[in-house]
Each structure stands twice: as C-alpha cells, then as structure tokens.
Amino acid sequence: MLHRRRPRCAAGAAVLLLSAGCGLWPLEPPQRFNGSKYLLPWPEGKIAFVGQGFIGVFEPHLAYDFVLPEGTLVLAARCGVVTRVVDLHEANCPLTQDCPNNLIAIRHGRGDFADPHYETLYLHIQKGSALVACGEQVRQGQPIARVGNVGISMAPHIHFALRRVGASNEPAHFADIDTFDGEPQFLRFYRSRNGSEPFLNNDDYCDLTFLCP
C-alpha cells in the first residue's frame, strides 16, 4: 500500500449522503488533527489555494499544489536537515513539454527502522531564491526559498510532496488544517499557522546530519 486514501464511494448518491466515510464536504464535521508534525509551508495568516490535490487532475500527482503569489516565502513544514537545493533554473513550460525545475528537499525524523526518515520536497521555487544550503539544519517555519513559476508550471505555486526516503509519496497531513485529518483538499483554500504556534512534538529529531555531495 503506497498511500492511504479515504475509501472512495462507489455506490449511488443515497449511499454517498449516508456514508460518513466518503469525506464529502460539508458532511465531515470540523476536527482538529493533533498528530501531525507538519505545518503548511508558507507564512502565518496567508491563504493558499489547492490547485491540485494528492490525486491530480492533470497528471499522476502524488503531492499538493499550493497556489501563492510569486515571491511568497516558502517555510520548512517541519524541522530537519536540507538535503538538496536547486535554484538555478528560470523558465517554465506547459505539461506537453519538459523543462528543468528548481527544488529544495528537507529530511525529517530519525533514521532507524522504527522511525524511518521522511522528506518533504518544495518544487518550482524562484530562481536564486534559496535561503538555505545543503546540509543546513532548519527549524519548522524557517524561510527556505520563495514561490516561483519554474519548470512544468502554469502559475506560481509550490508543489509540496512528502515521502519516506526511497519510497513513494504519501498523503500529507498538516496540524494547521482542521478537517479531513489535516489533508489538503482539491479546490479549497487554507490559511497557514506556520510560525504562529510552537509545535511541541516537532523537536524530536531535529539535529540530523547529512553528507551533501
């Protein structure tokens, strides 16, 4: 099982309306998901639109596209160590073409079998905007780059992915989203609380090291 999804509703509308497991808004009541160690990766109080969710509409898309104004600061979703920085590209192109992308990767979590490494990836960042270097330890909420429109991209946004190192991407859950266990939903707007609240569970394994190439 590469990723956990809420079961899809296969039956008719009556079943859809009766089923609590469908996740159809507004049937699912607001809830506070407290287990996540991640916060939305842009500054407190700003609102982003989800242009694509975990199952994308334009492509296989195991990530979230957060649409934000170009130049908006991108923040670390969780503390960790930076493992990759690419910010030399400038051009963007449509899905029918291919053009190189910029990105930052941050590794989180202890590396033993019981608590494998996870990493978050932040794509399409603005050329020359990286504020961190490979090997640098970052705290949650630390600015790492700025939103850009680079690579296969039609508008400024951050493509945010979460994965266990060496495995497929997984759905991401954020402590600052109050519905759907914190998982961002396609076509909805979310306000970040990153930077507004100290996140107590977030300091477990921040002091990671990584040997950069």
Q: Which residues bind Zn ion (CB under 5 A)?
A: 65, 159
Q: What six digits make up the tokens of 43?
A: 């500054």
User: Residue 38 or 122: which CB sits closer to Zn ion?
Assistant: 122
Q: For residues 122 and 199, which CB has a smaller minimum distance to Zn ion in the complex?
A: 122
What are the Cα distances from residue 58, in Å, to 9, 121, 130, 153, 156?
A: 22, 19, 28, 11, 16
> What is the C-alpha separation between 9 and 16, in angstroms, rounded?
6
Q: How far is the CB of 63 from Zn ion (least distance, A)?
A: 5
* Closer residue to Zn ion in complex, CB, 103/130: 103
Cβ-in-10-Å burial (0-12, 13-18, 19+) of 28 comes to middle
Block residue for tokens 């979230």 = 64
Burial class (CB in 10 A: 0-12, 13-18, 19+), 33: middle
Q: Which is nearer to Zn ion, 65 or 119 (CB)?
A: 65
Closest CA to 123 of 174, 157, 94: 157
Q: Return the number of the residue (65 or 87) whose C-beta is nearest Zn ion.
A: 65
C-alpha 87/C-alpha 106 separation (Å) is 15
Task: Please identify, using beta-carbon distances, which residue of 65 and 183 lies nearer to Zn ion.
Answer: 65
Residue 143 burial (CB < 10 Å; 0-12/13-18/19+)? middle
